[in-house]
Chains A and B, each alone.
Chain A
Amino acid sequence: MRRRWSVLAALAAALWLGALADAQRAGTPDRTAPVLRDPEPAAGTGRGPNGIGRPPTAREVAQMDISIGPDGAELPPGSGTATQGALVFTQRACSTCHGPTAKEGPANELIGGAPSPSSSYFPIVYWPYATMIWDFIHRAMPYDRPGRLTADEAYALTAFLLFRNGVIQEDDVMDAKSLPKVQMPHRDKYKPPVEPWKPGTAKGLFIKATP
């Protein structure tokens, strides 16, 4: 319990320092959605049954659509290697939360590890698709300035983590083509939902009340 306290204190201090540095660098950091800077197209130009809404601009879609599916179809241009990723890991102060070698914490350890019945967190190496690593790093890191990594940085960090987890080689280049092809070692453990959900077909433990 005492360890948890110190871990939290360290995290809070790191975040506070990070936020302070941020504020000095770039004014108050924006923690919410990207601001739509283009002049907004006219409202009420939607062509649906109610004629409500308006079509997004191409730039809005590009800016907002950060979802990367398992097959990586949406991955943007850019590339990175594990060597570059090690540098980004230092430059972007990832070690503040994840530790000098990405194993020490206090945030989730990123290298190795095994699933434990009593932990809800699955180590990265157990994730079924490498694209998911890219998606989360790109959308949510660094913790104090989420969504501020470039595509190149996200590719490099993903390559770094894949290499350190023994999934790819140190000089493998990760990009929109190569990343979806990375075979995660435990992919076969993931069982996609076989039956589509239908109203009234809940899964789980259901005991008939009247035998």
Chain B
Amino acid sequence: MKTKVTDRRRFLQRSAAIAGGLAVVPAAGTIPADDATLLAQTGGSPSTDDMNSMDAVLYGRRSRFANVVRRIEGSSSPDGSPPRPSPYRPSARTPVGDLTGIITPSSLHFTTQHLYGIPDIDPASHRLMIHGMVDRPLVFTMDELKRLPFVSRVYFIECIGNRPNPQGRSASDTHGRMGCSEWTGVPLSVLLNEVGVKNGAKWIVGEGADGGRHGKSVPLPKAMDDVLVAYAQNGEATRPDHGFPLRLVVPGMEGIYQVKWLRRIKVVDQPYLTYQESSRFLHDDARTQPNSYEFGPKSVITYPSGTQRLGGRGSYVISGLAWSGGGAIRKVEVSTDGGKTYQAADISGPAMPRAFTRFHLPWRWDGSETIIQSRAIDEKDSRQPSEEEFMKYWGMTRQQLYRASNTRLGHCNWIQAWKVNTNGDVTNGLPPINVVVTDVHEHA
């Protein structure tokens, strides 16, 4: 409310100032008669404070009736505890259950800061230094980087803390630590050719300009393959919480690879075991070594999903997202009978490598209680495992599986199920479990 008043006042002041000079600006709040009629007919309010404010014209604003927001980490704990945001580490999840298509709006894309907050960086003074085992160490300005050959690619970014969970109430609880954007930037291979990589180099270490100088080692072959040094997200400058003015995008790999506020790349001969690799991702099980690389195939139904409600029996379209670090999604199968039978969903939209792929399946709900779930298969012919298959791989009981930290399990890509209750309420469809599920973000 406060914002609105301020906006209006600012608008009035501006209108007055402009009107003083030009005298052709309509008075604040007036709208053409036709539009007013239409608004009245469609139930809209004739109040035009927001829609016609200069700020909204200069940088578009959504309707005040559209109010989907990110979920602050900790706010959806199963025990109903209140949000516990840290002023220095404001992490938030994507409301995946409320979104459509394959592109996550930048404003709703999940965000995680490693211990420290979001730096406020002036791109005019920002530099990227590339050095180490190179022939010609170089420093680049943002303007210089934008003169180099660039590409735009759609890639998902996912936190290792994203995992199916019988206690998550919504798709955002279980799968909100991911997003998918069109990233624009210089292929890292172009920059590495510019500096000339020396023989014997095997890794690069990316480093951010945040307080903790988050760093991550990336295998050199991956750096030369498809890694981007990105300055734009979904057509505009990457936002501060996503790394403004510059970030690494390491397609298909874990969130910690995607170094934000990129200021330095060092070319080295071994993994450098930075804090995020060493203290939290270092395990004596070879299956979860710090460099476990790409995510396996995953999928989640976003409609109908937890906390949503079906308005009576009849026609619906089941819809969801599938993605894989291994490449493009080739097939998605949906079950509406708790996994007894599966049928192929429609993935005729864009199915790009290491990007979200949207799937659909028309469905007639007969009003009875049922479990719906999906499984993805990628271009490498890898299939998303069931919870049981995952437990078998790790030699764990179900309790152990959900008590284990995500980082101990590598990539948690088993199937998430949703239960459609007879009253239309959609709740978590994985069998309940009597332990508090461990959450990687509790320990970050």
Contacts and interface: CB of A to CB of B under 8 A. Distances in A.
Interface of A: 1, 4-5, 8, 12, 15, 31-33, 35-36, 43-44, 46-50, 52-56, 60-61, 64-71, 108, 115, 117-122, 124, 126-129, 132, 135-136, 139-140, 143, 146-147, 189-193, 196-210
Contacts of B140: 52-53
Interface of B: 79, 81, 84, 86-88, 115-117, 119-121, 125-127, 129, 131, 136-141, 144-145, 147-148, 190, 193-196, 202, 205, 207, 209-213, 215, 219, 221-222, 225, 252, 261, 263-264, 266, 268, 270-275, 278-284, 286-287, 289, 291-296, 325-327, 331, 377, 380-385, 389-390, 393, 400, 403-408, 410-411, 413, 438, 440, 443-444
B182 to A, nearest CB: 22
Interface of B is mostly: loop
A127 B139 contact: no
Given A120-B408, A202-B325, 10 more contacts: A31-B119, A32-B209, A32-B261, A33-B121, A36-B127, A46-B136, A52-B147, A202-B252, A204-B293, A204-B413
Contacts of B145: 52
| 4 A-B pairs with the lowest CB-CB distances in the bound complex, closest first | A48-B194, A53-B138, A202-B294, A197-B219
A197 B221 contact: yes
Contacts of A191: 284, 286, 289
B275 A65 contact: no
B141 A43 contact: yes
A190 B271 CA distance: 12
B89 to A, nearest CB: 11
12 contacts: A1-B79, A50-B148, A66-B207, A69-B268, A69-B270, A127-B273, A128-B278, A139-B212, A190-B284, A192-B289, A202-B325, A204-B287
Contact of B270 (A47, A68, A70, A120): A70
A192 B270 contact: yes
A119 B408 CA distance: 9
Contacts of B116: 31, 140, 146
A12 B117 CA distance: 13
B137 A120 contact: no
Given A122-B280, A202-B326, A203-B292, A197 B383 contact: no
A206 B119 contact: no
Nearest to B392: A205
A15 to B, nearest CB: 7
Contact of B278 (A122, A146, A200): A122
A198 B282 contact: no
A205 B393 contact: yes
Contact of A204 (B84, B261, B292, B381): B292
Contact of B205 (A64, A67, A190, A192): A67
Nearest to B272: A69
Contacts of B121: 32-33
Given A31-B117, A43-B144, A49 B193 contact: yes
B222 A197 contact: yes
A55 B139 contact: yes
B275 A120 contact: no
B138 A56 contact: yes
A143 B325 CA distance: 34
Contact of B440 (A5, A120, A122, A199): A120
A1 B439 CA distance: 14
Nearest to B84: A8
Nearest to A193: B291
Contacts of A60: 129, 139
Given A48-B196, A140-B115, A121 B280 contact: yes
A54 B289 CA distance: 37
Contact of B284 (A71, A118, A119, A189): A189
Contacts of B268: 67, 69
Contacts of A5: 84
A201 B253 CA distance: 12
Contacts of B295: 202, 204
A208 B225 CA distance: 25
Contacts of B261: 32
A71 B411 CA distance: 29
A8 B404 CA distance: 24
Contacts of A143: 88, 115, 211
A207 B138 contact: no
B272 A203 contact: no
Contact of B293 (A56, A70, A140, A203): A203
B18 to A, nearest CB: 35
Contacts of A56: 129, 131, 137-139
A205 B324 CA distance: 12
B385 A64 contact: no
Contacts of A12: 86-87
A140 to B, nearest CB: 4
A208 B212 contact: no
A51 B142 CA distance: 15
A48 B384 CA distance: 44
Nearest to B85: A8
A35 B125 CA distance: 9
A157 to B, nearest CB: 15
A122 to B, nearest CB: 5
A54 B400 CA distance: 53
A209 to B, nearest CB: 4
